[in-house]
Chain A
Amino acid sequence: MSKFQKKQANTKQQVPTAAMPDIIFMLLIFFMVVTVLREVELQVRVDFTRADNIEKIEQKRLVSYIYIGPEILGGGQYGDTRVQIDDALIDDIYAIRRLMYDKLSEEPRLIVSLRVDEASEMGVVSDVQQELREAGTLRINYSTLRGDQAPM
């Protein structure tokens, strides 16, 4: 009995903070795993359009992006519509064929995600699609936001 009383008297009336770092580390690891660092420096403006009947891309490592939109000239100015793959603007549209063919031979299940600015015209999108057909990268995805999502 006396032993029990002694123990109770020794208990510190504090919230234990020893586990706090563990909790924070868990959050930290969660964010590190979930988020993707921006891999490319965008040289064209891409404002996504919206659609309702969309799917999620499940296998992110299969995806290769093509950006289409007005070139960013700096100072809030935009130039003509250009195509960007990885870090480079494409001058010759027929170069896409080779680029994508090389990517396809590295990853046969490649999905090409077209990130097109909403103000673009269909002509350039169609040209890119024709090139993709020639390259054999036939699985494509038009990146869109969900219809009710706030603009980014």
Chain B
Amino acid sequence: MLLKKRERVVGEVPQAGMADIAFLLLIFFLVVTTIDVDTGIFMQLPPPPDPEQEPPPIRERNLMNILVNAQGLILINEEPASLQDVQQLVMDFVDNENRAQDPDLAEDPRSAIVSIKTDRQTPYEIYIDMLDEVIGAYRQLRNEAAQREFGITYREYQNRVSRDDNVIREMYPQNISLAEPDPGS
């Protein structure tokens, strides 16, 4: 009985200050740290051009030329367009096989190439807006395909299969070519 009482006295280490110390550390880390933005648009650059090798021939109809000039005006296959139309135009072009089957647009999504060309003076912001629209078109197409084939969204599908087994990715490869900009004026 006596022993038990003594043990209780020894066990009482003051713990009230510990929370304060931890709070101080917590506040320090809250103030000091910045949560980085780590989102963005992924792109795969082409390997450097080989001077000895000619570029492979591409049929005219499989190439969609998007030109953005220094004023941010957009020319798609020599015709002026506005940024809002780009997504629809790219979708019509890439998925021509399943849509209008226009003989002037891409044969099939696999061989369709979207080429984006800018001037040196083109603002970066407009270029990103442009790229965003094109990526958005592909995302929509992939989403539709995933819904059609598997009845789920593309995001869900992506989580279920590995990158190598991704049939939809294969169906709609993102062939975006970034042309070297014109020197401009």
A interacts with B: yes
Chain A positions within 8 Å of B16 at CB level: 17
A125 contacts chain B at the CB level, 8 A cutoff: yes
A9 contacts chain B at the CB level, 8 A cutoff: no
User: Contact flags (1/0) for A115-151 with B, using CB distance below 8 Å?
Assistant: 0111111110110011011101111111111100000
Most chain-A CB neighbours within 10 Å: which of B25, B38, B44? B38
User: Contact flags (1/0) for B116-137 with A, using CB distance below 8 Å?
Assistant: 0011111111011101100110
Contact between B39 and A144 (Cβ–Cβ < 8 Å)? Answer: yes
Chain A positions within 8 Å of B37 at CB level: 48, 143, 145, 152
Contact between A116 and B124 (Cβ–Cβ < 8 Å)? Answer: yes
- Closest residue of chain A to B36, judged by CB? A36
A129 to B34, CA, bound (A): 28
Interface of B (DSSP majority class): mixed
Chain B positions within 8 Å of A132 at CB level: 45
- Interface-located stretch among A50-58, A71-79, A87-95, A102-110: A50-58
B29 contacts chain A at the CB level, 8 A cutoff: yes
Chain A positions within 8 Å of B15 at CB level: 17-18, 21
Contact between A55 and B41 (Cβ–Cβ < 8 Å)? Answer: yes
Tally of A interface residues using CB under 8 Å: 54
Chain A positions within 8 Å of B58 at CB level: none
Chain A positions within 8 Å of B45 at CB level: 129, 132-133, 137-140
Chain A positions within 8 Å of B135 at CB level: 51, 53
Chain A: minimal CB distance from B140 (Å): 9
A7 contacts chain B at the CB level, 8 A cutoff: no
User: Contact flags (1/0) for B11-41 with A, using CB distance below 8 Å?
Assistant: 0000110110111011001101111111111
Contact between A53 and B139 (Cβ–Cβ < 8 Å)? Answer: yes
Chain B positions within 8 Å of A12 at CB level: none
Chain A: minimal CB distance from B61 (Å): 26
B46 contacts chain A at the CB level, 8 A cutoff: yes
A32 to B22, CA, bound (A): 12
Q: Taking A140-B43, A143-B38, A146-B39 as given, write out 20 further A-B residue pairs in contact, using a Cβ cutoff of 8 Å, ordered by the A residue number.
A: A24-B19, A24-B22, A25-B22, A28-B25, A49-B129, A51-B129, A56-B39, A118-B123, A119-B123, A121-B123, A123-B120, A134-B48, A139-B42, A139-B45, A140-B42, A140-B45, A142-B128, A143-B39, A144-B41, A144-B128
